[in-house]
Amino acid sequence: MAGRRVWLYVCDEFRPVVVDRWGDYAELFRLVKPLVEECVGEVLGVEVHGVCSGGGDVVVEYLVRYWRGEAWARVVFSESPVGALRLCEGG
């Protein structure tokens, strides 16, 4: 995934993020967790929901639990993050 831009999609907003290296999906979430918490408040739990890839793009989906319920957070490796999300939604 070298050379791809990286985005965090949370609370209906794309935010560019810097991800140089990560070992697993839990570590990847730890890198973006402060930005997720800016949106939803304290994260009480998180699980990897799925990983989608195609055309060189990769989307890692997390289901985040917080005090009001659950929210989606997606880390998107793509030059076109909107297109990558559409690919992963099947449309």
CA distance 83 to 28: 21
Q: Which domain holds residue 24?
A: 6-88
**pLDDT band at 31; cut points 50, 70, 90:** very high
pLDDT digit string (tens) for 9-27?
999 999 999 988 888 999 9
Domain count for the chain, please give it.
Answer: 1
Q: Residue 12 falls within a domain, yes or no? A: yes
* pLDDT at 33 > cutoff 90: yes
- Greater confidence (55 vs 14) lies with 14
Q: Residue 17 falls within a domain, yes or no? A: yes
- Which H or E run contains 48? strand 43-54
Q: pTM of the prediction?
A: 0.91
Closest among 12, 3, 15, 11 to 75, alpha carbons compared:
15
Question: How far is CA 17 from each of CA 10, 34, 69, 70, 88, rounded to the nearest angstrom?
Answer: 12, 11, 25, 22, 20
Q: Residue 1 falls within a domain, yes or no? A: no
Residue 89 pLDDT: 77
Q: Residue 28 falls within a domain, yes or no? A: yes
